[in-house]
Amino acid sequence: MSITSLSPREIARRRLLDTLRREGPLARVEIGQHLGMSPASVSELTASLLDEGVLVAEEGGDTLPGLIRGRPKVRLFFAETLGSVIGVWTGFNRIELRLVDSAGRNRSSRHIEYPLRNLEADALLDVLAETITTFARDTGAPDVKAIGLACQGYVDTRDGIVAWSPVLGTRDLPLASGLGERLGKPVLIENDASAMAFAIAQHDPALRVGRTACLMIGDGVGLGFLLQGELYRGARSGGSEFGHVRLRRGGPQCRCGGRGCIEAFLADYALHRDAQLIDHRPAPTILIPSEEAMGALVTQARGGDAALLQLFREAGEVLGDAASILIQTLEPDHIVLCGPGTRAMDLLRPSFEAALEVQTIPALRSLTTIQVVESSMDLLTEGVVMQALRELDLDLARLKAA
């Protein structure tokens, strides 16, 4: 359902629900402040949503900050009984799952190792469908309404297709339709860097103002870009493949088949590959090194290993070059560095900042704030379940026939 198909009153209901999704439980006066609505309008909208069971009211224990002392204000919540949503992330031979209720509260999560890259399209869809079905059954998931799935690579969200992914062995995978047919549920798919960007922005209102670029480093290098808190998409509704911008002609091999991409210098597999050449450390049993392997690499560098320190200095320089490209092409208000690769930010920072200063026009650099956000892979599933819940809210905004 498109928001353009809603009536003016339904659009107002949609805006109210979206505010509660973003901000969490609010009193009516706070809702009015966020939306610029009169108390009468807010009361009318919330009354119908309460009557329909979409929202529930609860007395707060304290008077809200900034309000007149006295009777506690009533905060409004999403009801937990409207069904549930499952979020999924497919990494390199691994699957992460999350179950949330209709109020957005996390109810269960699960990690599964499975050789996804070896599977053809139909077998891959069968495995994902069975994994999700088993997870829902084991957790007693109430009335699953939708599935949100984040995946590395070029994800066409308009047509529900994963055109290419470094963690899957098949191209042009009809993931949304194929999985939806097997599960009998709507499936929303997203690039994993975009999913993480969306989740991070939900935790920081400042990042939902202006233009925010979230540069995720870890298994690969991805970019999620937001305008006023909403994901920016290309012509096929896909996200950016910024990690595959060629930075050095004739550089190291990248998983995409090219050479010299940003990712080929900065991703975990690239750092571990180069470390193997330096000290003959054991090769990972899979293409992507484990968190334990990367942690050991960082610890050894912090211990003073000169060759590994140089490896991280060079990676920091590439990260600075990448941020400079972002600043001088997109002029973002905010750049967020996130993902597992920030575990080594203390080693990357000196050369990152030096490269940024040398490569960036000072007048443009001064317009952008840069911050590092500690982020776990949980944000990937959080991002897609939040998007799925917002899509479901479009239906909740629709006025019910008398």
| pLDDT, tens digit (0-9, with 9 covering 90-100), for 150-208 | 999 999 999 999 999 988 989 999 999 999 999 999 999 999 999 999 999 999 999 99
> Could you read off the pLDDT of 254-307 as tens digits, one per residue?
988 899 999 999 999 999 999 988 876 666 656 688 889 999 999 999 999 999
Strands (E) across 141-233 are located at 144-151, 154-156, 161-164, 187-191, 211-217, 221-227, 230-231
**CA-angle at 152, arms to 148 and 155, nearest 5°:** 70
Query: Exposed (0-12), middle (13-18) or buried (19+): which is 322, by Cβ within 10 Å?
Result: buried
Q: What is the pLDDT of residues 111-129, one digit of tens each?
A: 999 999 889 999 999 999 9
Question: How confident is the model at residue 288, as a pLDDT?
Answer: 80
| Buried-state track 15-25, b at ≥16 Cβ within 10 A, e below 16 | bbbbbbbbeeb
Spatial CB neighbours of 181, under 8 Å, sequence gap ≥ 6: none
The predicted model scores a pTM of 0.90
CB contact set of 267 (below 8 Å; sequence gap of 6+): 217, 218, 219, 220, 221, 243, 341
What is the pLDDT at residue 333? 97
pLDDT at 89 over 70: yes
In this prediction, residues 58-86 reach a mean pLDDT of: 72
| pLDDT score of 67 more than 90 | no
Query: Would you say residue 12 has pLDDT above 50?
Result: yes
Structural domains in the chain?
Answer: 3-79 (1.10.10.10), 84-196+380-393 (3.30.420.40), 205-372 (3.30.420.40)
210-220, pLDDT tens digit by residue? Answer: 999 999 999 89
Tokens 């050369």, residue located: 351
Least confidently predicted of 231-235, 330-334, 354-358: 231-235
Mean pLDDT of 68-72: 51
In this prediction, residue 72 has a pLDDT band, given cuts at 50, 70 and 90, of: low
Tell how far CA 260 is from the center of its chain: 26
Confidence of residue 315 (pLDDT cuts 50, 70, 90): very high
* Contact status, residue 340 vs residue 89, Cβ threshold 8 Å: no
Model confidence band, residue 4 (pLDDT cutoffs 50, 70, 90): low
Spatial separation of the C-alpha atoms in residues 188 and 80, rounded to whole Å: 21
Cross-strand bridge partners of residue 227: 211, 230
pLDDT class of 238 with cuts at 50, 70, 90: confident
Sign of CA dihedral 199, 201, 332, 316: negative
Strand 211-217 and strand 154-156: the pairing is: unpaired
Sign of CA pseudo-dihedral 172, 177, 181, 183? positive
Mean pLDDT, the chain, rounded, equals: 91
pLDDT band at residue 1, thresholds of 50, 70 and 90? Answer: very low
Residues 6+ apart with CB under 8 A from 393: 14, 17, 18, 21
The pLDDT value recorded for residue 286 is 60
**374 or 328: whose pLDDT is higher?**
328
pLDDT band at 311; cut points 50, 70, 90: very high
Residue showing tokens 């233009």: 211
